[in-house]
């Protein structure tokens, strides 16, 4: 799913950059997840994050978002109890989507034509079948975007498209978490422009020439942006600015 993009001009320099518009709250993610649910002919969705990353024997799946309604907690716990360890093991070695069949009304998913693109779980003891797309973003932000139904409409093209959209959902969730930790003072247009060019691999002298600024001023903008983003250096600030949607 393409994000809307806002083109912003840096007055006096002719420099233009693109600011990616991210979700401003978790409620913004629900329409995207519902759209994905409809594409798969699914009945419900759930987003699971991996908590306790980096702690031996402490990792677990946590349900972050779902539209099961009153049965949400029960269904989420059922899936975690039945598949949690399998999901944790799978994401360490593979990013193939995981498919399973329910025990009450078996989910019929014809995967013969794209069997190499999925991992099928056998004998999963949950009443509902489904498909879960694993997302690995690094040390944090890992998890699954899952969809549930008695019958799923899946093709190779849909699998690829839904996996890409799942990654975008998880990136948005991570960005929303980080925004809560970022100081309320937002980045200025000049700070964003300097970060964007630095992210493109340009050094301070090249950025200064591009924007018509002194090298000292460029370094000052990059330094203030680094502080605002609560980062230890320019590289970490660029990575964080990308995740937060300031630059691309």
Domain residue ranges of the chain, discontinuous segments joined by +: 26-180, 182-244
Angle ∠(186,199,237) on CA atoms, nearest 5: 45
3-class state of residue 49 by DSSP:
strand
The set of residues, in sequence order, having a beta carbon less than 8 Å from that of 107 and lying 6+ positions away, is 99, 100, 101, 128, 129, 130, 149, 150, 151, 152
pLDDT of residue 34: 93
**Domain 26-180 in this protein, CATH class:** alpha beta
Kindly tell me if the per-residue pLDDT of 1 is higher than 50: no
pTM of the entire structure?
A: 0.65
The residue that leads in pLDDT, 103 or 243, is 243
Strand-strand pairing, 5-10 and 119-121: unpaired
Question: What's the CATH architecture for 182-244?
Answer: Orthogonal Bundle (1.10)
pLDDT of residue 132: 95
Contact 142, 136 (CB under 8 A): yes
The set of residues, in sequence order, having a beta carbon less than 8 Å from that of 141 and lying 6+ positions away, is 49, 135, 170, 171, 173, 174
Residue 206 CA from chain centroid, whole number: 32
The residue that leads in pLDDT, 75 or 162, is 162
Q: pLDDT grade, residue 218 (50/70/90)?
A: very high
**Mean pLDDT within 179-199:** 80
Cα(76)–Cα(165) distance, integer angstroms: 21
pLDDT of residue 109: 53
Q: Across all residues in the chain, what is the average pLDDT?
A: 81
Cα(148)–Cα(47) distance, integer angstroms: 12
In DSSP terms, 145 is beta-bridged to 47, 133
**Mean pLDDT within 61-87:** 86
pLDDT of residue 197: 95
């Amino acid at each position: 799913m393409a994000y809307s993009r806002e083109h912003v001009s840096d007055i006096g320099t002719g420099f233009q950059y693109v600011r990616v518009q991210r979700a401003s709250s978790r409620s913004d993610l629900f329409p995207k997840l519902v759209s994905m649910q409809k594409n798969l002919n699914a009945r419900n969705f759930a987003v699971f994050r991996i908590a306790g990353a980096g702690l031996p024997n402490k990792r677990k799946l946590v349900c972050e978002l779902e539209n099961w309604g009153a049965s949400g907690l029960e269904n989420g716990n059922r899936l975690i109890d039945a598949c949690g360890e399998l999901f944790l093991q799978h994401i360490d070695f593979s990013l193939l989507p995981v498919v399973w069949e329910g025990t009450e009304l078996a989910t019929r998913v014809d995967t013969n034509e794209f069997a190499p693109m999925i991992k099928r779980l056998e004998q999963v003891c949950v009443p509902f079948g489904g498909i879960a797309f694993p997302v690995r973003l690094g040390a944090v932000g890992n998890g699954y975007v899952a969809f549930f139904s008695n019958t799923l409409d899946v093709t190779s093209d849909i699998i690829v498209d839904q996996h890409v959209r799942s990654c975008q959902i998880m990136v948005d969730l991570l960005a929303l978490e980080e925004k809560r930790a970022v100081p309320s003072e937002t980045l200025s247009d000049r700070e964003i422009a300097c970060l964007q060019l630095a992210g493109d691999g340009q050094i301070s002298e090249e950025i200064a020439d591009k924007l018509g600024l002194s090298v000292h001023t460029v370094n000052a903008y990059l330094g203030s942006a680094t502080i605002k983003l609560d980062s230890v250096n320019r590289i970490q600030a660029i990575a964080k600015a990308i995740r937060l949607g300031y630059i691309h």
